[in-house]
Structure 1
Amino acid sequence: MSEEDSLITLVDENGNETLYEILFTFESDDYGKSYILLIPAGTQPEEQVDVLAFSFDPDENGEANDAELHDIESYEEWDMVEGVLDTFLNDENMQ
């Protein structure tokens, strides 16, 4: 994934655009979905930020480029995503 491919622009309900960097993507066999986790572009490694998480429809190459993002709707799904994020943040080999 190139630097340009690792960025996504989200538009809020007021039409404001914010650039985000793709932290990582993963698939869940349990939910049959692909997920994407985003952080604000330009975030420094030591900086604390909120991580945004969505499910998405991958393109023909399995990537999140121009993908349609979907809100995560159930508590069980959120728990699974948080577990994957915790594993990512605590495993130096994954970063």
Structure 2
Amino acid sequence: MSDHKDNENYAANMDDQFITLVDDKGNEELYQILFTFDSEDYGKSYVLLYPASTDEDEEVEVQAFSFKPDPKGDVGQGDLYPIEDDAEWAMVEEVLNTFIDDDGADY
């Protein structure tokens, strides 16, 4: 799982499966959405991303953020919020590990 990120912003690409992250220096990188989920415990929605330039056989660093869903419940135009609480990170990692175990993916 990724290190905590500070002040990341994003702009949704034309395809709903991609997000462009812009760091505080203005550098842009295209990420693919791995999946989104909601947590009743934290009352938030989360998105997990990985670099779109990653080869299929390559190990990836997954980024995770909370977000406010658009009216359709998707990651729309808006902000991604860093996950700063260790217990919240543990929950996100548990969901990711369950996804990997269920999917058989090698992320």
After TM superposition, the score normalised by the length of structure 1 is 0.89
CA distance in 1, matches of 2:41, 2:29: 31
**Displacement of 1:42:** 3.1
Aligned to 2:6: none
Query: How many percent identity over aligned positions?
Result: 55
Q: Which residue of 2 aligns with 1:54?
A: 65
Q: Which has the higher contact order (CA 8 A, sep 6+)?
A: 2
| Residues 45 and 89 of structure 1: CA distance in aligned 2, closer, same or farther (over 3 Å) | farther
Deviation at 1:93, TM superposition (A): 7.5
> How far apart, in 1, do the equivalents of 2:90 and 2:103 lie?
21
- Which residue does 1:9 correspond to in 2? 20
Runs of 4+ residues deviating >3 angstroms: none
Distance 1:38 1:93 in 2: 17
Looking at secondary structure, tell me which structure has more helix per residue: 1
Match of 2:48 in 1: 37
Query: What is the 5 A alignment of 1:12-31?
Result: 12-31=23-42
Unpaired segments ≥5 residues, structure 2: 1-13
